[in-house]
């Protein structure tokens, strides 16, 4: 999306915005330049650790990592930069009524049968939901940061009350208004509720599902995300770090010989298990009394092959990815 350069309304410094931008925070003075007045909301800043602490955390992790510690002397940091990402965080109350079917496969010797159990119930919960205030989320480690923000303690401060000289990081433009965010937050809360009910009750399908959501509080946070780019031999890798607590969100690392061997062995084992499951199904297909039993064996076999493909792909790749849980 094309960016347009205009001047900050306070200090006159150049700022860049796109047609979707709701506001832009000036990188020089910290002033919020609003372009959609009816979307004005209170903005909070989550304080970030300084650059030297980010680098210290990076090197500490590399020294403690069982694989990277062996080559830490060969690593070279080529770039370190921080940005503030606009994220909506909201308190949501949900209440759902539902009915569904739990499918159980019961085996007795060589015979199997499928039981379909009708279930129904009510579910209520209070959630913290976070979503990006941007239409596209392309920043490295952003998905992991958004997931982590829901556990963020409320020690953030109002943007206008912060000392901008202590911040001085680029702020990504916000492109989603609060009203749009509320609709997206409700949709996300309903999807999470449906997933929780399905997993906790072992449901295969819903016959009926109704969910009401109430958004009780919405805050727009500027959350610090730091990216450290480093080199190892001929490869370039990235590490995303949460700026407020120095937690590693996502990192790309080289694949070493030992890891390739382990992944190849794991891939071979998954293939053998998958072939065994499919073979068992083919030999006993006449003994299975229904299509659900056959489907179970086919699904297990396919899962094994998918795992084998994933492990073999990692084994031949030069980069592996680790994420925050």
Q: In this structure, what token pair is assigned to residue 163?
A: 């000392």
pLDDT digits 0-9 by tens, 71-88: 899 999 999 999 999 999
Other Cβ atoms less than 10 A from the Cβ of 241: the count is: 29
End of a domain among 209, 234, 253? 253
What pLDDT is stored for residue 270 in this prediction? 74
Q: In this structure, what token pair is assigned to residue 205?
A: 């399908």
Q: Which residues contact 44 (CB under 8 A, 6 or more apart)?
A: 156, 157, 158, 159, 219, 220, 221, 222
Contact assessment for residue 145 and residue 244, using Cβ atoms and an 8 Å cutoff? no
Q: Which residues contact 167 (CB under 8 A, 6 or more apart)?
A: 30, 45, 47, 48, 84
Mean pLDDT computed over 267-272: 74
**Same domain membership, residue 280 and residue 153:** no
**Same domain membership, residue 203 and residue 117:** yes
> Would you say residue 315 lies in a domain?
yes
Q: Taking Cα atoms as reference points, which of 163, 159, 175 lies closest to residue 223?
A: 159
- Its pTM stands at 0.76
pLDDT digits 0-9 by tens, 24-81: 888 888 888 888 877 778 889 888 899 999 999 999 999 998 888 888 999 999 999 9
**Same domain membership, residue 195 and residue 121:** yes
**Same domain membership, residue 263 and residue 248:** no
Domain with 308, as residue range(s), is 259-323
């Amino acid at each position: 999306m094309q960016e347009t350069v205009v001047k900050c309304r306070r200090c006159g410094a150049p700022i860049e915005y796109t047609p979707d931008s709701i506001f832009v925070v000036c990188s020089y003075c910290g002033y919020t330049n609003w372009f959609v007045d009816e979307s004005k909301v209170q903005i909070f800043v989550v304080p970030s650790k300084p650059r030297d602490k980010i680098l210290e955390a990076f090197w500490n992790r590399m020294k403690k990592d069982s694989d990277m510690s062996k080559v830490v002397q060969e690593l070279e940091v080529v770039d370190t930069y921080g940005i503030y990402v606009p994220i909506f965080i909201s308190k949501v109350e949900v209440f759902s009524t539902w009915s569904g079917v739990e499918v159980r496969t019961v085996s007795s010797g060589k015979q199997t049968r499928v039981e379909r159990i009708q279930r129904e119930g009510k579910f209520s919960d209070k959630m913290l939901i976070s979503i990006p205030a941007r239409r596209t989320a392309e920043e490295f480690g952003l998905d992991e940061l958004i997931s982590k923000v829901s556990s963020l303690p409320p020690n953030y401060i109002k943007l206008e009350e912060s000392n901008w000289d202590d911040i001085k990081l680029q702020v990504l433009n916000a492109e989603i208004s609060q009203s749009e965010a509320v609709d997206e937050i409700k949709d996300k809360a309903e999807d999470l509720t449906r997933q929780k009910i399905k997993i906790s009750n072992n449901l295969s399908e819903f016959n009926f599902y109704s969910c009401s959501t109430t958004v009780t509080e919405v805050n727009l946070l500027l959350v610090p995300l730091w990216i450290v780019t480093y080199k190892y031999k001929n490869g370039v890798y990235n590490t995303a770090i949460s700026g407020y607590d120095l937690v590693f969100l996502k990192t790309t690392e080289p694949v070493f010989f030992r890891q390739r061997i382990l992944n190849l062995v794991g891939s071979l084992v998954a293939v053998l298990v998958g072939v065994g499951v499919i073979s068992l199904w083919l030999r006993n297909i006449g003994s299975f009394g229904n299509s659900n039993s056959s489907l179970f064996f086919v699904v297990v076999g396919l899962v094994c092959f998918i795992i084998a493909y994933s492990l073999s792909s990692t084994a031949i790749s030069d980069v592996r990815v680790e994420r925050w849980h």
